[in-house]
Amino acid sequence: MRGKKRTTRPPAPAAAYTIDEFCHAYHISHSTYFKMKRDGIGPREMHIGSRILISIEAAAAWRRARDV
């Protein structure tokens, strides 16, 4: 393809966190995450195949619920 410039796209913004990414983003340990989940106060999770993800919207809702 002579004469065509290859364009690069900027990376797409993240739409969801893995549990590791969520814990890192909110500065909490994995044990704290799973304790919150066990206590029913963790963020909503999406199960996609064998993966567990937390949408950006679910993370924001979880954060707003904890604002004092």
* Domains of the chain by residue range: 16-66
* CA dist., res. 54 & res. 62, Å (int): 10
Give the pLDDT mean for 15-25: 97
Task: Give the DSSP letter string of 13-26.
Answer: PP-EEEHHHHHHHT
pLDDT band, very low/low/confident/very high, at 63 (cuts 50, 70, 90): very high
Residues 6+ apart with CB under 8 A from 63: 26
Burial of 41 (0-12, 13-18, 19+ CB in 10 A): exposed
> What is the share, in percent, of the chain residues with pLDDT greater than 90?
76
pLDDT single digits (tens) 30-54 = 999 999 999 999 999 999 999 999 9
